[in-house]
Amino acid sequence: RTSLPAPMFTRSDFSVWGILKKCIGLELSKITMPIVFNEPLSFLQRITEYMEHIYLVHRASRQPQALERMQCVAAFAVSAVASQWERTGKPFNPLLGETYELIREDLGFRFISEQVSHHPPVSAFYSEGLCQDFLFHGSIYPKLKFWGKSVEAEPRGTITLELLRHNEAYTWTNPTCCVHNVIIGKLWIEQYGTVEILNHRTGDKCVLHFRPCGLFGKELHKVEGHIQDKNKKKLFIIYGKWTECLWGIDPAAYESFRKQERRGEPPRKAQSGISMENADTEVVDAVPEVQDTVQVIPGSRLLWRINTRPPNSAQMYNFTSFTVSLNELQTGMEKILAPTDCRLRPDIRSMENGNMDLASQEKERLEEKQREARKERAKEDTEWQTRWFRQGRNPHTGTPDWLYSGGYFERDFSGCPDIY
């Protein structure tokens, strides 16, 4: 489908201050927010958006040289967060045992995820290429913190990509995402932190800095970094914006361009000399002015470019075309899906259909049902059993992780929990 069944509900009349003022510094999962700040997707579906640019992984698999493969993998890691651009809606917290599957034959993958823990919330996912070219898996523990004006989401958990034809594994962690002005002012999103992608076979590493916006917004959305070999020799320079495109260039060409630039232009003293008088002193975090596009250094190679959003995106929570299709329930699908699949969740479905009252009611009912089930387990002294993933260690990093147990696509869904 190319659009959602109903346009988005306006949020402008809602003040969250009353709810949030008691909660500064708390973890956001402990705060109940009105549904109007949600988007009609489960967090499990939001994770699936990593797959939008999976062609970069197929491309990586086709490259004979490790350096070229790393360039594709770096582009994939950056592209995976691009769908978050201008997405300020909060996805629904998955219920314990909730699952989401996605098969895209046209894009060459299938994907399965499960909510494996509720406190703390942990989502595990596993995907494989339909041509046996890759495995992509991980577990995400989005630690959300409320800082008075902004909400920060730190996506803990390792992400692993295996290129099977090259017997290679790459691991990394996503950058931190911050939503500004959750109480008053215009909402905007920033990603920051350093992402290190390690090729465990060769020891090559790609270091990517997601720049925070900085005082004057100069750095907004910028990503800069390099690829180095195991002896820390720089092999390739990468630059661009996660909201736009990513370029790469040979380090020597990069250096000579920068040198030329320094000779050609008098050093700018503006940075430190700007008077603070004009700096924004209001209570909101000023929205940085839209910056010009990425300046391309001659001799660069384009590694990735964002897909344009559909024309009706603004009425659809700023979804991408890929995202719009995630919660579609085609006729006959409910007979094939696991009964725990997000597409069958009545609160998300109601919100998608524009029925906010029913969505709120259903959300409350589902959460109550989940609490009851937990109490029941406590009484009977039984532990929750995950279905498709098991706790273990990441085979490449040795850190705690959730590993796919297999079997989902054999579709024996007897004994799946009744969570809706």
Ligand X SMILES: *[C@@H]1O[C@H](CO)[C@@H](O)[C@H](O)[C@H]1NC(C)=O
Binding site for ligand X (CB under 6 A): 86-89, 187, 314, 317-318
Of 9 and 55, which has the nearer Cβ to ligand X? 9
Rounded CA Rg of the chain: 22
Identify the residue whose tokens are 């489960």: 42
Spatial contact of 145 and 151, defined as CB atoms under 8 Å apart? yes
- Those residues with Cβ within 8 angstroms of residue 385's Cβ, 6 or more apart along the chain or in another chain: none
Under a CB-based contact definition with an 8 Å cutoff, are residues 39 and 87 in contact? yes
CB of 358 to ligand X, least distance (A): 20
**In this structure, what DSSP letter does residue 341 have?**
B
**What residue number has its CB nearest to ligand X?**
88
Measured from the CB of residue 187, what is the shortest distance to ligand X in angstroms? 5
Nearest distance in Å: CB 318, ligand X: 4
Residue 121 · residue 129 · CB < 8 Å: no
Structure tokens at 196: 């290190």
CB of 186 to ligand X, least distance (A): 6
CA count, 13 A, side-chain hemisphere, 299:
12
The residue among 41 and 75 lying less far from ligand X, judged by its C-beta, is: 41
Closer residue to ligand X in complex, CB, 13/106: 13
Question: Tokens representing 193?
Answer: 């932190």
Identity of the residue, 81 or 227, whose beta carbon is nearer to ligand X in the bound complex: 81
Residue closer to ligand X by CB (options 13, 265) is: 13
Please state the closest distance from residue 85 (CB atom) to ligand X, in A: 9
Count Cβ atoms within 10 A of the Cβ of residue 193 and give its class: 0-12 exposed, 13-18 middle, 19 or more buried.
middle
Tokens of residue 262, six digits: 């320094």
Nearer to ligand X, 302 or 314 (CB): 314
**Beta carbon nearer to ligand X, 12 or 331:** 12
CB of 309 to ligand X, least distance (A): 9
Nearer to ligand X, 36 or 57 (CB): 36
Closest contact distance (angstroms) between CB of 408 and ligand X is 32
Backbone dihedral region for residue 264 (phi beyond 0: left; psi -120 to 50: alpha; all else: beta): alpha
CB of residue 159 to ligand X, shortest distance in Å: 25
Q: Are 339 and 324 in contact (CB under 8 A)?
A: no
The two tokens of residue 71 are 């360039």
CB of 86 to ligand X, least distance (A): 4
Burial 83-97 (b: 16+ CB within 10 A, else e): bbbebbbbbbbbbbb
From the number of C-beta atoms within 10 Å of its C-beta (0-12, 13-18, 19+), residue 264 rates as: exposed
C-beta of 59 vs 241, nearer to ligand X: 241
Residue 273 CA to residue 280 CA, distance in Å, equals 16
